[in-house]
Structure formats: C-alpha cells, structure tokens
Structure 1
Amino acid sequence: MLSTTTKIIWVVLIIELYVHVVQPGDVKISALFGQETSRDNQYKSVIEDGIRYINRNKTFLSDVHTLMFVGGSNTPSNSVYSALDEVCDHISSERMSAFILPEDKCPQCDDIAGISSHASNPIFSLDHGSFESGSIAFKMHPSPEDMNAFYIDIMHYFNWLNFVLVYDDDKAYENLEGMLNEASLNRWNITVVKLGNNLMDTVDNLIEQNNSNIFIYCSSEVRVRDLMNEALRVLERGEESPVSSKYHWIVGNLDLAMEREFYDSLEDSNVYLTRFTMNYTREHQYALPTSINTPINEWPLRERLAFDAVIAVGHALKTYRLDREKAGNTGTSVLPGDTAMPNCPTSATTPADNDLTDHLREVSFEGVTGNVAFDGNGNRANYTITIFSGQAETLSQMRGDWVQSIDFWEAKWQKRWENEGRLNVTYYQHGHDRVIRIVSVLAQPFLFNREEVLDRRGERRNKRQISDDATEGVYKGNDRFEGYIMDLLDRVKTHVKGLDFDYEVELVPDGQYGIKKRYSDIWTGMIGEVVRKKVDIAAGPLTVTEEREDAVDFTYPFMSSGIQMLIKHPKKVQHNPFRLFFVFGIEVWFINLIVFLLVSVLLFVFNYFDPYEWKAIAERGEADEENAGNFGCLNSMWFLTTTLFLQSFDKSPRSNAGRCLASFWWIFVLIMVFLYLTNLSFFVNTTKRLALVKTPHDLLQQIEVSYGVVKEGATYDFFWKSPVPEYQRIWQHMNTDKPVPYVNSVAEGVDRVRKGNGNYAFIGESGELSYRASQKPCDLLVAGGILSRTSYALAVQKGSPLAAQLSSAIETLRDTGVLEDLQREWWDLDEPSRYRCANLTEYEREAVFSMSANDLQGTYYMLLIGIGFSLLMFIADFVCKETCTGKPTRSVRNGGPSSGMGGGMPIGGGIGSGSQPQGGGEEKMWI
C-alpha cells in the first residue's frame, strides 16, 4: 500500500506531466546571458516584454498558443568548447524554437552565436559579429561587411584623409578590416590608438596627435561613453581636451545611448559630432509594453535588438501558422513540435533547420531598430541608417540616410533613388528645415568679435539688431559677431528664392583661410571645413583661386579685390637723422678728411717755402705785407672749404705748384660733390619708393625693404604657383630672405609693418589692408597699384545646390546697389572720425610725393650744430680778447675817439688788410 504522501506526490507528478503533454501550443524562446547582459536582469526583462507583446497581440498566435521564455545559466564560458557544449545541452533539454545568444556568454569565443549557428538554428546574434566569419546566425546588428561599406562611404563623404582611429580590443580592430584595406587605395593616413584601462592616458594621446579628426569604434559602446566622459571632465577643468570645437568625432557604434545629461555636456563642449542610428518609425513605440522605466528610444542598441529579435520570432510564427492553416491544420496542431530547434549533430554533418528558420528569412517588419529583415545567410537586410551631424544646438541635426538595399527603398517609397551610392544627403544639401552651418574667420572689417568692438568703442552699440536675451557683454550664437559678412548674410537670407533657412556662424578652429598642404590632398582652414562637410558655407574674405575651385564651389563674387602692399606711412618712419651721410661709406668720409688735411698741409708748405708764393712775394715787397699769411694753416683750410662748397675765395695760390694742386683739388671736389648730390635723393626717399610701386618689377627693383605674406595663405599660394617669372622671383626672394618674412595672420603682418619702421612691407588683399590703414594711429599706407586682381566669394560644398541659390541672391544685391552700400558703410562713411583717419585720401598723398620735415631733419640738425658751434666760437673769441687786454675794446677809424672814452694812447701800425694810411690820414686804435 502506498502512503498518503506518496499518493499526493504521484498525483502532482501526473498532473504536471499532463499539463506538459496536453499543451502542445506552448512555443519556447530562450537565451543565455553573460556578465553584462545578466546584470539587473535587464535583458531578460526586455525579452519578456517582447514575449508579452506577442502574446497580447493575437494576430501572431492563435488563442490556443503561447510564447514563453525559458532561461539558462548566466555564467560566462571561458572557451569555445565549453560554451558550445552548454548551448547544445540547453537546446536538447529545453526544446526551444529560437535562441538568443549575446557574445558576452563567451567573451573569448570571438562570435559564439556564429559558431553555434553551424550546430543548430535559429540562433539570434545581438552584437557586431566578426568580419567574414561565415556565420549563418540571424544577425540583428548589421553585419561587419555592411558596416565597413557604410564607414567607407562616410569617409568619402567627409573627405577624411588624415584621422585617428580609436578602438578598444582586437575584435573591434579586426571588424574594421574592410575600411583599413581601403586606406591604402585612398591614401588615407590613419593613426591607430588603442583604448587602454587608463582613460586619461588615451585623452592625452589624442591631444598629442594634433589631429582634429577622430573615428572611434569599440566592441562595447560603454567604452565609447567612458572615454568621451573623461574628455568632457578634462574640458570642465579648463584644460585642453579632444572634445572641443576644434575636433570632429565620428562614433562608429550605432545608436550610442545619449541620456539628457550626457547630451547637454556634448552641446556645451561645442564638439562637432557625427553619429548614426538605425532608422525606425517612432509612433508605434508608444504602444509597446515595457517593464523598464527608461523610455524605449533611450535603451542601448543591444537591448532594442533583443526586443526586435523576439518580435521577429513572432512574425515567423505567424507566417508559419498561416501556412499550416491553409494546409487544413487547426487548433494545437497548427504549431506542432517541429518548430523546435534541432539537436546539435554528434558528427561533422550539416545540421537540419527547423521549419521556423525558413520563415524567419522571409520576415519584414518595422521594429524599434528600423526595418527588420534577413538575407539567406541570416544577415540583417533592408535597413536604413540615419546620420546625425552637428555641434552645439545643431548636435542632433539630421544629415542624411544610408540604405542597405536601394531596390527595397525604391519599392517601399515608390520613387527613384537619385544618388550614385547608398548614401543620400540631397535633402540636407538643399538646406530645408535645418540650420545651415557657416564658418568664418576674424578679419577686419569683414568679421569682428562683438565684445572686443564694444570694449574698444565704449558706448557704441552695434547697428545690427541684437536678440532680446543678449545683454551687455554677454552674447550667444550669431550675436557674438558683427561686420560686413554678418550684414551680407542677413541680406542674402532675405533674397534667396525658394529657401527659408536659419544659419549659425562659427569661427574656423585653425584661424586660416585654406590651402592644400604640400604632398597631400588635405585642406586647411575654411576650405578644409567645407571640403570635409563639417560646414555648408565658408564666408569671409575668401579669394577665388583655381586650386580652390577644384575642391569647392564658389558663388558669384560679392566683392572685387586685389593684391596690394601695406607699408608704414613715410611720414611716420623714424629715419636716422644723419642718413644724409650714408651716401658715402664711412671709409670714404675718413679718406676725404685725410685728403682735405693733406692738401691743406701742402698748401701751407708751398706758401712757406715756394719762392713764388704769397709769403716770399710779400717779404720781397712785391705784395702787401698782410698777404704773407694768405695760405697759413687756417687760411689753407678755409680756401679748401670754400672751394668744396663751390663758393668764392679771397686769394688763390700764386706758385705753379700751388695752382697745380688747387686744380686737381677742384676736380676732386667736382667729382665728390656731384656723386654725393646725385645719390642723396636715394637715401632721403628710401620709403617713398615703395609707395609708388605698381608692378612686380618695381618691387623687385629695390632691396632695402623686406616684404612678406601670410604663410600658406591665398597670396602665398598665388606667388608660389604663379607661372609668371616676376611673381616667381618675388616668391623666391621671400623664401630665402632673412629673417623669415612670413607671418601667421594679417594682424601679425600689420603689427610687423608698424614695428618694422619702414624696413618691412606686407603683401595681402586690398580689402582688409585698406581698412587697416584707415584705422588710428594712422601710420599705415596701402602703397602703389594692384599687383594682381582677385575677388571674394562664398564657398560651398562641391555640387551643392546652395551655390546657385546664393549666387542668385548675391547678383540681386549687386544689381540693386546693396553690395555697394555695404562696402561704403564699412570702409568709408559709417565710422565716427575718432575711430578712423579723417580725410584719408588727402592724408595718404601727404609726404608720399613731396619732401617732409621728417625727410630733411638731418639737414636741420646740421644747421643747428653749425649755429651752436659758431656761437661757441663767438663766445670764445670774446672771452679770449677780454682776458688778454683786461678791458673792453672799441675801434675808431680816421682818428675818431671811441664812444664813451675820454682819451687814449694812439698805437700805430693798424690792423687788417687796410694798414696803410690813405689820403695822408692815419688809422689808429684807441685803447
């Protein structure tokens, strides 16, 4: 006899067995989890939510059928053998119809779902998979092969030729094999950085690379978030960070989870971010059941893929059920046990698929990760990836779509795919319903920083209307800037036909206009930003050149310009006041002085010893006695001095030797004086010559003044690549001149002209140079004529429809006189006189075509020195005479008494040339 307890146990077992036997409508779905997917049972909850959605919607299964979840071990396996053994045991014991297998179940297995798919199917993979692995699992994530093709299209679109690749493990690197193989074909320069455990080391490494383009792809999107958060913390500390306006990040991981706080931090950092999401219809998600507090559109991608995997099983069961019903099956027999996964084979034979596998290959529905469909190998098919690209307020601006299948897209939307490849950015290029991004550069008067202008002008506010939330000293968005470009953009916006757009102006990070680097196709500056699709328009004093036209499209020019030269105003150049002596070298002056003294001594010697000179003649009584000293030491010097300046003299030599010496002295004087006078104007007008330069030949004719341009700017590029020999000579002169004449910016060039004191000239675009010259302290001059004609235009991306729209607006502005008014406003009239040089044209003419006191100051100094020296001699004579006699003196001729004297002693002999009495009289000196 059985005891009562035993009977009860048997009854329970029989009932339990009956339940399992009489409910053939139960269909099982299972999953094994690893360390990450088992945390907080999050993935289990997602799968159960999907099952709950299937069971509630009776269109999937009949009333007598139920989809249920059976779990298994959550312990990760450490080898392929143990993992596959556990998978096969689970399939055999649970008899499920579908199996979800994330990769963290066996981290060392590379792709456990792909490996297991060759043992039994259908197995769903939620992860990236492995490149060319041969997996036949149903891959919810796009295959690595498709993702590589997508990345290559993105790189071609953004024109990235030099970038940093960041990855976290070897598997991530291997999954980019297709893109890396493409690098050599496209001359991409890729710097590889592996993400280590110390995130700060990686942040420092990215900064050291000095590369603004960063592509990051990790096996775990958590690592992507960790690195970006670390870089954001560095930025918050006020330190240099790779997450800033200088950098463009492309996140290769699909659907990077971005909660509000993380998103706001990226906005504040002003980093330019490109990210990708699986395109899906948002509306139906609100009806989905969920036991998770987080909104479904904020789930990590793998959780959403798990949800869609369950829904895919539901759709396959639905089509399977409908086929069975058409065949006459009813009730529980509609879904017999043949939907269960087959057991793993015990030998090297091909496993048999269950009937559900074929139906899974036919599913096509809109899930939370976009359209869900599979090809014959289980790869995800017919999906669309949406591209978001921007910074700050435009961080979530949609740029375009990439489709896995063009044929499917055309059939779905019933229209022709107009793009050459699988990437479509047509709607984005037209600028509809989005903020157009514009890049510019600070260049007066084209663009100013508003706060700096207000600080300089004090009370003056800008002409342009400022938004209501802008307060004094605090500006955001476009209110940060003012200038000709901002006014031009305002007017272009109102005149563009068929396009209502908003725009956002940012400064180019490197502060350059744009030049293609030597030996590469990489563009810098504003042109580089347009070429790499980071911005839509480059607006500024951007010169149209042939090379730039190969990289971007230019609009109709909004201003004509030319290459001119900026010099320091001749009147403001501080010359050496005694540069009058620079005509002769210092050795010439010394030799001339020696010659002067030598001739003086010879004249003195001839006078003293020659029997036919004045001294001997006077002693013989053949001449007046006072003539004996005509060529004494001092008188000889005076004779040479008067002849040196072509003046008259009292006496000339009488002897043949003296006259011969005097003749050759006169020849010497003629040569030296005329050589001096002929070359004097050259030194007086040193800086004036540059003011008259009109051609490159004129510039090359002088060597005293160094001249330079902005390094790697449009003017530099013009001289470097010009086929004209004279322009080539100018470039060669600049390239070999010492010190190096190149500058990094126009502002630096202007500053160097001021500090150069006439020894440096800056060559640049006339538009900006003329404005700089018109600003106080009014010490600059735009010299000569235009060396070459140029024009300014807006630059847009190659093939962009914005070119035609903007050109039409600019032509309208030109025809209506708006462009002329804008130029007059910013260059001529609309500045208070205290901020600009009054009567600029007249001022420029002054001291350019005429001598100024500054030019002749050395002459005045010489005269002052002579006056001072003569006054000193006068005082010396007066003091010496008074000291010798002890009394003041006064001379009286013809016996007249001295004024104020009562009498005196007469002294005979006289003084001076008239010592002989005339008319019987006698000249006397009274003391």
Structure 2
Amino acid sequence: MKQEIAFRYAVDRVNEARIFGPRTKLRPIIDKIPDGDSHFASKRVCALVRSGVSAIFGPQSPKTSAHVQSICDALEIPHIETRWDYRLRRDDYSVNLYPHPSSLSKAYLDLVRSFGWKSFCIVYEDKMGLVRLQELLKTPRRNEFKICIKKIPYGDDFRSILNEIQIRGEHNILVDVRTERVFQVLKQAQQIGMMSGNHNYIITSLDLHLVDLEDFRYSGSNITALRLIDPDRPEVRNLMADWQAGRILYTNKLGDDDIIMKTETALMYDAVKIFVTAIQILDNSTDLQMTPMECEGETPWVYGNSLINFMKVEMSPGLTGIIEFDPRGFRSDVTLDIIELKRTNLQKVGTWRTEKGVNYTLSQKDTHTEEREGLANKTLIVSIAFNDPYIMLAESSERLTGNARYEGFCIDLLSELAEKLKFNYILTPVEGNGYGSIDKTTGEWNGMIREIMDGRADLAMTDLTISYERQQAVDFTMPFMNLGISIMYKKPQKVPPALFSFLSPLSIEVWIYMMAAFVGVSLLMYVLARVSPYEWQNPHPCNPDPDTLENQFTILNCLWFALGSLMQQGCDFLPQAVSTRMVAGMWWFFTLIMISSYTANLAAFLTVERLESPIESVEDLAKQTKIKYGTKSSGTTKNFFKDSNLEIYQRMWTFMETHTPPVFVDSNAAGVERVKTDNGLYAYFMESTSIEYVTERECSLTQVGGLLDSKSYGIALPRGSSNKGYLDVVLLTMQSQGRFHILKNKWFRQKRGGGKCKEEAGGGGGASELNLENVGGVFVVLMSGMGMALAVAIVEFGLECLDIAKEEEAPLREVLKRELIFVLKCKGSSKPVRKKAESDEANGDTEYGSNDYNYTAKNPLT
C-alpha cells in the first residue's frame, strides 16, 4: 500500500512541476499481480503493453518478477525494480535500486571487523538470510572469526535457540529476520537475560527504524543496524513534511505509522525520480511517443533502449542517496548509514560506502555525552570473591542485607565508580574457586571468569590478577594496584648478645695490635729510661751526696704506666727526660683516639639488637631443603613457578610439586597460619600487597627479599564490553587524585587491626635500654679481676708469713694464725715494725713494738 502511495505521489509531483511540455503527462497505471501466479502475471503485463507504457515498475514478488522482466527485454521496455534480488546478473533492460546482497554482506563484514569481534553467532530465518551474509560465511582470512549459525524455528518461540547461544557464552549476535519479527527476537532475548551491557547485536534489516525499541533503550546492549534513508537529509525532511500535511490524496487515514517510511517505499519514490529524469532528457531531444505493443509481436518500443541507457548513465540524488548503476543494472557505490540504539532513540554514528568501508562520524559533543551517560541508570551484576582486605563481610551488630553486607578496598572502589558514573550494582559472591582458573579435567574456566563468560555477571572485582590466560577469556580495565610475588616468613629471631659483647666494637686484629702496642711501648719506655741520665734520681732528696741513684721505670712500673694511660687513669710517677716524655705523649695520643673510637662504637653495639634469619632471598630458599615453601593451590602465583623458564624457579617448582606432604594450601589464610605454626620451617609465596596487609596485623611475620615478578590487579569485564572505556577514564582520574593510596592506607594500615605491629615496636625512635645480657661481660671481667687480685693477695700473705716463720724460727701455723688474727681485727691503720733478729735478741724482745712505729714490708713490685 505504501509503495502504491509513493508511486502515485511521485508521479503527481512530476506532473505538478510541469517537467514535460503541455503535450506530455505521466499516467500511472496501478495493477496488482498475485504472488506466484506466473501465467496471470504475463497476461496482466501484456494487457498493460497493449495500452502503451514507457516503463514497468515491479512487481515485488521474486517468483513473478522473472516473467515480467522477460517480456520487458523482448519489447525493450525498461523494467525498474526496488526489491532485494540475489541474482548476480540482470538483463539489458532492467535496473534495481535495492543494494545488491553482496554489497550488504560486505557492509556487515566491515562492521564485524570494526567492532573487533573474534566470534559471533548468526540467527537467520530462511535460506535467503545466508545468501545475504555470504561474505561473512566465506571470510577472506582463514580462522578470522569463530561463527555459529542458528536457524530460528517456525512459530513465535525462539527461546530454545537463544538459550543455546547463551550456553555457548556468545555475546555477539547477528540477527537476519524479517522486520516484523525483530522485536520478538529481541524481546525473548531480553526475557532470558541476553539483553545486557555485555551483548552486542547487528540487525540486518534496513528498516529497524520501524521497530518499537522502547523496551531496549536502557538495557545497555549495543544494537546496530544499517539504513538507506537518512531522515536528516533535506529531501527526506521535505517529503515527510508533505506527507504529514496530508498532501497524499490517495488515503483518508494519516497516522504516525504513515509518517515513518519503509526502505522499499523510498526506493519506489527514487525509482520514479530517476525514470522521470531520464525521460525528461529523452523528451527534450526527440518526439517521445507511447506506442501500443503486442507481447506476441516482434516490434519493440523504439525509445526503450535510449531510455534505459539514460537511466544507467545519469547519477541522480534521491531519498536513498546518490543513485547510479553498474553495467549489470545493479546499484553501485551505495552509501548506508550506521545507526545505533541510544537512550533517546536510534542515532546515526557513521556511514558505510562500497569503496571506503566504515567511517564513524559521531561528533565530539555526542561522544562526550555518550561517555558521560554510558553507564548512567544501569544496574550491573558484580561478581565478588572474599579475600581480606579487598572483599570482607561487614562487621555490624545489626543484621545487614544487600550490598551493605560487604566492605573492603574493592567495595569502596566500586562505590566511587558507581557514584561517578551514576550506575547501580548488585554484589553476588561467587561459589567454589572464586578467582577463576582452567579446570584440568574439562578445560573450561571456573569461578569469576566463568561468571563473566556466561553473562551472569557484568563485572568481577577482588584482588584479581591480570594474566595472559585470563585476558584471552575476558577484558580487564586499567590496573588499580601494582604488586609482585614475594616470600612471607617468620620474623628473624633476636640473637642473644654474647657475654663479651663489649669487645665487639673492635675487631680481634685491632685488639691484638693494641696489646702488642701496649707491650712494645712499655719495653721502649723501660729501655729509654735506663739510657737517659735524667731518669736516674736521688732516692733521698735530703741527702745531697747520695751513694746510689734510683730509676723508677722498672719493667713493672713501665707496664703500670702504660696501663694507667690506656685506662685514662694516670700514674703516681711521670717521665723526666725529653725522650721518655715524647714516648708518653705519643702513647697518650694513641690511647685518646682508640678509647674515643671504642666508646663511640660501643654505644651502637650495645643498644642495637641483631636479628638473625636463615633466609634473606629466594636464592637462599632455593639452595636448602630444611625450610619448606609453597603457594596457593590455584592462581597466578602457582602458575608463575609452573610456567617460568628460569632455572631457579623451575627447580623450586619441581620441589613444590613433588614434595610430600604437600606444600600447597587452599587459601592465603591457610598459608599464613602454616607459616605461623611451623616454627620457621615453612615459607609461603604470596602477593606483596597481601603480605603487607598480614604483616600489619601479625607481628611475628615479615616479608623476605624483593619481588619475584611484576603484576597488577584489574576489574574483569566481558570481551568487547563497551563499559571498559568508561571505567578506565574514571580509574585514571582516581589515580591522578591519589584515591588509590587513600583507600589502601585506610584498609591496609587502619581498619581491622592495622598498625598494631608499629605500636608494639614503640614510637619514640630512641635507643633501647641496656639489659644485663648486654653488659654482663663487663661484670664478669670485674669479678675475674677481683678474684685474681684476691688470689695474689693470698699468695703475698702466705709468702710473708713463710719469711716470718723462717726468721723467727717459729711454726708456720702459729705465724699464720697470728697474722690472720691481726688482719681480721679490722682495727687501726698502722702496724708495729718487726725488728730484725739481731736487734730482737739484743733487746730480748721478740714481740711487736708499740703502734708508734710504722710497719714496713717488702713489696715484690718494688
């Protein structure tokens, strides 16, 4: 009906414009030919020919079109079609304004390539759909795409086919069905959860603007199609305004449905225009006459050949763009609009031309608006996996529901993303192996990656490492945290200070050289004192003419002098000669430097506690077997050792894989517990950020060595998701504002017991107090010296008593008893002088005299 209206309207416009002279006027003849009745079609066309025609438009049925074309070719009457035709060649007197299927198929191939699809599924209605998509099915480059093909069943229920596509995990779908069935397919896809932000659709119908897409505007799905009619072109706007004003006289009903033009209607209007243009040129050059003819006759229309040639040569602008034909009679250099479903409605985002391919023309303003509103008002399903401090159950005395049940670094990060992009989200914990790895038995992904691939989640958030294998299955945003694998181990044990730790400031060699210097200076002082005449002194200053001179620098006195100087205590005698004073001065300078250096270094050695660890790096761990080491039983840390090409890591992987009992654990929490309880016999490989979190709360654990590799955490999305760009922009903004650092400081060092170990370590920053263990050796030296002095005093006491016993010829026991009683009285500070034997016998007195006489005894050191 609409084609008939367009045909009559176009003819009327031509007649009103008086394109021809007053003698010529187009007379449209509308005749309906039943579809499939070839004999009846031939009779109708022959009846038209006998009345005199200059061209025949249609019919639309492919079954009767061939009969009409054969009559037109025989009588040389132009045959003008506006239908989809898959034939590769046409007859000489036929043209078709509808783009050829090969051109449309190439357009869809270019679209698929521009979208970067690596796999997609074709949903078609009949065999002609496969003809329309032949360029996709015979892809130029081998293995460029993975394509599945599904034919929808008869009837109105397509859910079974759509479910099969969903089970395959395919999110890119090309739909080739009649325009009337497009809504049904999309609606049923929406009902089974295939109309989300992860799904992309290409609709092959050129009349998608006729479909009510209101239900899918906010679904987030990317719905793309091609069209021939550009409503923004002046010709189209003017025509639609005329239709809306009611200038069509062939119907009494004008509604909104009539204002929307079908592609074939616009093509019929353009067909009349190019026919009128050609006949006008021919009419200006010759006396054009409509001649009645007979189908059985052998005389063709004399003007038909010229008219069809003018139509093929002349380029004419129409509602469907510039119209020109190739020598075969097919339309060439077709321009198609690329349209996408936006929140407002279908919007033109680019064009496709036969020669140039896809060209996106979305303005900068439109791009900015799309980026700003890309996720607005959408509700995303976010898959999460628990791991402190990224995702945790919230601590609350009240019963929480919904998203409020969870908290952590990733929850805060997601909340900020949602606030900036204005989307909503629902958190769904994943069951089983949360992070996602390839199952050895099935070869399929599990965990969060499986959720994303199956379309059950739009995002996946936790401490999910970006790896090569995962990037083959899903897309990742830019990283929000960088890290690497490191070793978690028990903190090094404090080394007990040695008993003689006060000797540590100087090395053994320095102590030996000091002792040698001490003995050498003493000997040199002794020799020089005996050589120099100025060291021989009068023992009795009151006697000006002494018989002998004494030298106070005996060998023992020289040792005593050097020792007193070394201990910075001085001595009761000093050198007199210049030579001995020079030796003393240099010795004092030496002792000043050495003692100062010793004192300065002693403070550090006595206050700094040394820590002793059996391993300092991964190399130390690899070259021993006493300390076991392992990783989580699945994940990127395990795969790092498994896939590494470095010899040291290959050796460690072999050790871990073959060790009995197993060194792998089910979770990081189990690894931490094993390190704590194995008393330094187990080390656990874990990501550095997780180690940082644990060591803030477990003061007995620490990180050993540097990072073994470099990796990042990201947010996982479905392959080809349009949301990636929006999230990346906001993540970059948050990174530049330092939000990642603030969130990390909050959840790693403050919340849930963070900072505990720093408080225990003491915040003053001063030196630790000295314990008895640090200075115990000094007390031992003191006690040893006291003991040695006591032993020497006892020996001196015994020798003196032995001399007295000999001189007095008294029993030694009596002498010892007498002398010991005197000592133990502890009374008085003077002792009677013991006279020599001769004096005692002369005086007849062998007892001690009065206390008025000083007691003198021989000093073995003098």
Seen in structure 2, the aligned counterparts of structure 1 residues 808 and 172 have a Cα distance that, compared at 3 Å, is closer
- Mapped contact 2:45–2:68 kept (Cα < 8 A): no
Coordinate RMSD, CA, aligned: 6.5
Q: How does 1:380-779 map to 2 (within 5 A)?
A: 380-389=331-340, 393=343, 396=346, 398-406=348-356, 422-425=357-360, 432-436=367-371, 483-484=412-413, 560-564=482-486, 705=630, 707-710=632-635, 722-727=644-649, 766=688, 769=690
Matching residue of 2:8: 48
Matching residue of 1:836: 752
Aligned mates of 1:458, 1:319 — CA distance in 2: 89
Task: Provide, for residues 658-698 of structure 1, a one-character-per-residue CA deviation record: whole Å limited to 9, x for no partner.
Answer: xxxxxxxxxxxxxxxxxxxxxxxxxxxxxxx9998857965
Matching residue of 1:66: 25
Aligned mates of 1:206, 1:172 — CA distance in 2: 18
Matching residue of 2:290: 337
Aligned mates of 1:157, 1:736 — CA distance in 2: 49
- Selected match of 2:145 from 180, 188, 197: 188
Matching residue of 2:306: 355
**How far 1:65 sits from its partner (Å)?**
4.0
Whether 1:786 aligns to 2:744 is no
Seen in structure 2, the aligned counterparts of structure 1 residues 271 and 808 have a Cα distance that, compared at 3 Å, is closer
Whether 1:316 aligns to 2:273 is no
Aligned mates of 1:507, 1:116 — CA distance in 2: 66
- Mapped contact 1:564–1:763 kept (Cα < 8 A): yes
**How far 1:69 sits from its partner (Å)?**
2.5
Seen in structure 2, the aligned counterparts of structure 1 residues 93 and 347 have a Cα distance that, compared at 3 Å, is closer
- Selected match of 1:230 from 188, 193, 201: 188
TM-score (normalised: structure 2)? 0.53
Seen in structure 2, the aligned counterparts of structure 1 residues 138 and 173 have a Cα distance that, compared at 3 Å, is same
Task: Provide, for residues 877-923 of structure 1, a one-character-per-residue CA deviation record: whole Å limited to 9, x for no partner.
Answer: xxxxxxxxxxxxxxxxxxxxxxxxxxxxxxxxxxxxxxxxxxxxxxx
SS at match of 2:484: strand
- Mapped contact 2:228–2:337 kept (Cα < 8 A): yes
SS at match of 2:109: helix
Q: How does 1:154-173 map to 2 (within 5 A)?
A: 154-173=111-130
**How far 1:361 sits from its partner (Å)?**
2.0
SS at match of 1:826: helix
Aligned mates of 2:615, 2:261 — CA distance in 1: 70
- Mapped contact 2:631–2:638 kept (Cα < 8 A): no
- Selected match of 1:293 from 255, 263, 267: 255
- Selected match of 1:125 from 78, 81, 84: 81
**How far 1:823 sits from its partner (Å)?**
2.4
- Mapped contact 2:641–2:649 kept (Cα < 8 A): yes
**How far 1:827 sits from its partner (Å)?**
0.8
SS at match of 2:142: helix
Matching residue of 1:179: 136
- Selected match of 1:274 from 224, 227, 250: 224
Matching residue of 1:93: 50
- Mapped contact 2:642–2:650 kept (Cα < 8 A): yes
- Mapped contact 1:252–1:276 kept (Cα < 8 A): yes
Whether 1:825 aligns to 2:742 is yes
- Mapped contact 2:84–2:99 kept (Cα < 8 A): yes
**How far 1:378 sits from its partner (Å)?**
2.3
- The percent identity for this pair of structures is 19
- Mapped contact 2:348–2:362 kept (Cα < 8 A): no
Aligned mates of 2:331, 2:482 — CA distance in 1: 55
**How far 1:788 sits from its partner (Å)?**
0.8
- Selected match of 2:238 from 272, 280, 284: 284
Aligned mates of 1:371, 1:825 — CA distance in 2: 59
Aligned mates of 2:116, 2:148 — CA distance in 1: 16
Seen in structure 2, the aligned counterparts of structure 1 residues 348 and 99 have a Cα distance that, compared at 3 Å, is closer
Task: Provide, for residues 207-235 of structure 1, a one-character-per-residue CA deviation record: whole Å limited to 9, x for no partner.
Answer: 344322211223x3323333223334xx1
SS at match of 2:632: strand
TM-score (normalised: structure 1)? 0.50
**How far 1:704 sits from its partner (Å)?**
7.1
Seen in structure 2, the aligned counterparts of structure 1 residues 690 and 114 have a Cα distance that, compared at 3 Å, is farther
Seen in structure 2, the aligned counterparts of structure 1 residues 66 and 764 have a Cα distance that, compared at 3 Å, is farther
Matching residue of 1:251: 203
Q: How does 1:78-117 map to 2 (within 5 A)?
A: 78=37, 82=39, 85-86=42-43, 88-104=45-61, 106=63
Aligned mates of 1:269, 1:812 — CA distance in 2: 27
**How far 1:293 sits from its partner (Å)?**
2.3
- Selected match of 2:327 from 355, 369, 376: 376
Aligned mates of 1:742, 1:124 — CA distance in 2: 76
Matching residue of 2:527: none
Task: Provide, for residues 213-267 of structure 1, a one-character-per-residue CA deviation record: whole Å limited to 9, x for no partner.
Answer: 211223x3323333223334xx1xxxx34334442221122232344xx312122
Matching residue of 1:469: none
- Mapped contact 1:508–1:525 kept (Cα < 8 A): no
**How far 1:376 sits from its partner (Å)?**
2.7
Identify the range of structure 1 (695-704 vs 377-386) with the bigger mean alpha-carbon deviation: 695-704
**How far 1:101 sits from its partner (Å)?**
1.9
- Mapped contact 2:484–2:710 kept (Cα < 8 A): yes
Aligned mates of 1:93, 1:690 — CA distance in 2: 109
**How far 1:159 sits from its partner (Å)?**
2.7
- Selected match of 1:215 from 174, 185, 192: 174
**How far 1:715 sits from its partner (Å)?**
6.2
Task: Provide, for residues 422-447 of structure 1, a one-character-per-residue CA deviation record: whole Å limited to 9, x for no partner.
Answer: 22237579984441358997679999
**How far 1:195 sits from its partner (Å)?**
1.9
Aligned mates of 1:116, 1:279 — CA distance in 2: 32
Amino acid at match of 1:100: F
Seen in structure 2, the aligned counterparts of structure 1 residues 806 and 172 have a Cα distance that, compared at 3 Å, is closer
Task: Provide, for residues 381-434 of structure 1, a one-character-per-residue CA deviation record: whole Å limited to 9, x for no partner.
Answer: 34322223467x38745443211245xxxxxxxxxxxxxxx2223757998444
SS at match of 1:787: coil
Aligned mates of 2:412, 2:354 — CA distance in 1: 46
Amino acid at match of 1:360: M
Seen in structure 2, the aligned counterparts of structure 1 residues 525 and 753 have a Cα distance that, compared at 3 Å, is closer
- Mapped contact 2:121–2:170 kept (Cα < 8 A): yes
SS at match of 2:276: helix
Amino acid at match of 1:93: R
Task: Provide, for residues 170-211 of structure 1, a one-character-per-residue CA deviation record: whole Å limited to 9, x for no partner.
Answer: 222233223211166244222211122133343344334432
Amino acid at match of 1:124: I
Aligned mates of 1:384, 1:739 — CA distance in 2: 70
Matching residue of 1:367: 318
Aligned mates of 2:58, 2:631 — CA distance in 1: 73
**How far 1:149 sits from its partner (Å)?**
1.7
Amino acid at match of 1:310: V
Aligned mates of 2:300, 2:449 — CA distance in 1: 60
Matching residue of 1:145: 102
Whether 1:202 aligns to 2:121 is no
Aligned mates of 1:94, 1:299 — CA distance in 2: 32
Task: Provide, for residues 571-596 of structure 1, a one-character-per-residue CA deviation record: whole Å limited to 9, x for no partner.
Answer: xxxxxxxxxxxxxxxxxxxxxxxxxx
SS at match of 2:707: strand
Larger radius of gyration: 2
**How far 1:729 sits from its partner (Å)?**
6.3
Aligned mates of 2:685, 2:489 — CA distance in 1: 9
- Mapped contact 1:781–1:844 kept (Cα < 8 A): no
Task: Provide, for residues 532-588 of structure 1, a one-character-per-residue CA deviation record: whole Å limited to 9, x for no partner.
Answer: xxxxx9999897778999999999977543245799999xxxxxxxxxxxxxxxxxx
Aligned mates of 1:550, 1:762 — CA distance in 2: 29
- Selected match of 1:264 from 214, 217, 228: 214
- Mapped contact 1:308–1:368 kept (Cα < 8 A): yes
Aligned mates of 2:318, 2:185 — CA distance in 1: 30
Amino acid at match of 1:69: P
